[in-house]
C-alpha cells in the first residue's frame, strides 16, 4: 500500500536493530482516514473468504481491525492482555511473548464471542516473530473456529513470523513489508499486488 509506505518513510522512526516506532498514526495517535483505507484494502483482499468475525489483540490492533470490520459488516473481537489469568471456564486463553516489551502476557477471549461456526480474519498492527498471531490461532483452534486469513499492517519480513505463517499455508496479506532497516532507514520489499 503505497500511501502507508510513504507515511512510514515520513513519520516512522527506527529504534535499534529491529523496532519501528509509528506513534504518530498507528500506535498512539491514530489517523482514522488512513485506517479506513487499510480496512478497505483488507476487505478487497479477503472479501470472498466467508469472513464473519475479525480478531485482534488490544490495543494497537483495534483501530485497523475495527475499520476492517466496518467494511465487512461483521463484529470485531479483541483479545485482552493480562499478566496472568485466573483460569476461568468462560475464557479461551493462550500465552504471548511480547517482542517489544520482552514480557509474557496471557491473552483471553470470552467463549461467548467465538464459536465453531465462525470464520475468522486476524488483523494486527505488526508482524515480527508471529507470537501474537500464534496466540490468537491457538484460541481459534480451541474454539473450533476456522482461520481464513491474516491481515497485517506492517510486516517486518526479516523476522520469523512471515516464514512461519507461509509454512502453515494460511493466506496472509501485509500492507507494508519491510525487508530491512539500513542505517536507520526503512527498506521495503517490492509491493505485492
**20 a known binding residue?**
yes
Nearer to ligand 5GP, 27 or 52 (CB): 27
- Torsional class of 130: left (φ above 0), alpha (ψ -120 to 50), beta (otherwise): left
Nearer to ligand 5GP, 58 or 191 (CB): 58
Nearest distance from C-beta of residue 63 to ligand 5GP, angstroms: 12
**79 a known binding residue?**
no
Distance between CA 6 and CA 12 in Å, rounded?
10
Nearest distance from C-beta of residue 53 to ligand 5GP, angstroms: 19
Sites of contact with ligand 5GP (CB under 6 A): 19-21, 27, 57, 60, 99-100, 124-132, 161
Nearer to ligand 5GP, 44 or 103 (CB): 103
Q: Measured between alpha carbons, how far is residue 45 from residues 72, 135, 151 in Å?
A: 11, 23, 9
Nearest distance from C-beta of residue 103 to ligand 5GP, angstroms: 11
Distance between CA 148 and CA 3 in Å, rounded?
26
Nearest distance from C-beta of residue 23 to ligand 5GP, angstroms: 8
Q: Could you list the beta-strand ranges (E) of the chain.
A: 13-15, 19-21, 53-57, 76-82, 91-97, 104-110, 119-127, 146-156, 172-182, 185-188
Nearer to ligand 5GP, 20 or 66 (CB): 20
Q: Could you list the beta-strand ranges (E) of 98-141.
A: 104-110, 119-127
Binding-site residues for 5-phospho-alpha-D-ribose 1-diphosphate sit at 128-132
Amino acid at each position: 500500500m503505497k500511501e502507508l509506505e510513504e507515511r512510514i518513510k515520513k513519520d516512522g522512526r527506527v529504534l535499534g536493530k529491529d523496532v519501528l516506532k509509528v506513534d504518530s498514526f498507528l500506535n498512539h495517535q491514530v489517523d482514522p482516514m488512513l485506517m479506513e483505507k487499510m480496512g478497505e484494502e483488507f476487505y478487497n483482499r479477503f472479501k470472498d473468504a466467508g469472513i464473519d468475525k475479525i480478531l485482534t489483540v488490544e490495543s494497537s490492533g483495534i483501530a485497523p481491525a475495527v475499520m476492517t470490520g466496518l467494511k465487512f459488516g461483521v463484529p470485531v473481537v479483541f483479545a485482552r492482555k493480562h499478566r496472568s489469568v485466573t483460569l476461568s471456564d468462560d475464557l479461551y486463553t493462550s500465552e504471548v511473548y511480547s517482542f517489544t516489551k520482552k514480557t509474557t502476557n496471557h491473552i483471553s477471549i470470552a467463549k461467548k464471542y467465538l464459536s465453531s461456526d465462525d470464520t475468522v480474519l486476524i488483523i494486527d498492527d505488526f508482524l515480527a516473530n508471529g507470537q501474537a498471531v500464534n496466540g490468537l490461532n491457538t484460541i481459534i483452534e480451541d474454539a473450533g473456529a476456522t482461520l481464513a486469513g491474516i491481515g497485517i499492517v506492517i510486516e517486518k519480513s526479516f523476522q520469523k513470523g512471515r516464514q512461519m505463517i507461509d509454512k502453515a499455508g494460511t493466506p496472509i496479506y501485509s500492507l507494508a513489508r519491510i525487508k530491512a532497516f539500513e542505517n536507520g532507514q526503512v527498506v521495503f520489499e517490492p509491493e505485492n499486488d
